[in-house]
Amino acid sequence: MSLRASEFVNQETATLRHAVLLHIIRVEDISVSKLSQVDEWKEISDPNNRFVDRLNKSTRLVREINDEEDQLSSTFKPKGFSTYKLLLRDKDHHFIYAYELEPLKFLRNEQTNTPMPIKLGGRLLIKPGTTISRGVLLLNHKNCEYKGIHASDAHLVSLLNDGLPTKEIDILSTS
């Protein structure tokens, strides 16, 4: 079945009546500033910024200081402290956003060596009873199940993940 966010935009809360299988198109850490995310992606995309080359590189340019954050904060925040917003797409190419209400394991278990917590293009099953608020899915560990990447989605996975650092820098810089 199809899921159209536009059908729920004017409803403060609604409940999904049927299960829907969606592809994960994009994941964004909304607990980190966009400027910090751009800096992280630039470090990954520029080989001169690699950790092994830090001796030959001048110190990082400090663009923002948040003196209210506690000492646990660092440039690369552990995934356990992040909050993610997901852009999902159904089989009919309808898009919908989703926010995690609690840390979802599948967004924290994979090692990608990038700020992206998982490989894009994987499938996420949204179960009946999931809350939709103003056209946005509200996810917890009970109402969604990560199904991983299916072999038939190879083209989509390649399309989404090839050149990811450059794409993310463009998206974050323009939004």
How confident is the model over 104-126, as a mean pLDDT? Answer: 92
The C-alpha atoms of residue 59 and residue 43 are separated, in whole angstroms, by 13
Nearest residue to 117 via CA among 126, 105, 101, 102: 105
Question: What's residue 54's pLDDT?
Answer: 46
Q: What is the pLDDT of residues 49-97, one digit of tens each?
A: 554 444 444 555 556 666 655 444 444 455 568 899 999 999 999 999 9
Position with higher pLDDT, 110 vs 52 = 110
Domain chopping of the chain, boundaries? 5-174
Q: Enter the CATH code of domain 5-174.
A: 2.40.50.770
Question: What's residue 25's pLDDT?
Answer: 98
Q: What angle do CA 132, 138, 142 make, to 5 degrees?
A: 115
The C-alpha atoms of residue 163 and residue 35 are separated, in whole angstroms, by 19
Pure H helices in the chain: 34-45, 154-161, 164-174
Question: What's residue 46's pLDDT?
Answer: 78
Question: What's residue 71's pLDDT?
Answer: 42
How confident is the model over 12-33, as a mean pLDDT? Answer: 95
Distance of CA 170 to the CA centre of its chain: 15
Nearest residue to 25 via CA among 146, 160, 150, 125: 160
Q: What is the pLDDT of residues 122-175, one digit of tens each?
A: 999 999 999 999 999 999 999 999 999 999 999 999 999 999 999 999 999 998
Question: What's residue 44's pLDDT?
Answer: 85
Question: What's residue 74's pLDDT?
Answer: 42
Question: What's residue 164's pLDDT?
Answer: 92
Question: What's residue 68's pLDDT?
Answer: 58
The pTM score is: 0.79
What sign has the CA pseudo-torsion 61, 66, 70, 72?
negative
- Stated as kind and residue range, the H or E segment containing 85 is strand 84-89
Question: What's residue 124's pLDDT?
Answer: 98
Question: What's residue 15's pLDDT?
Answer: 95
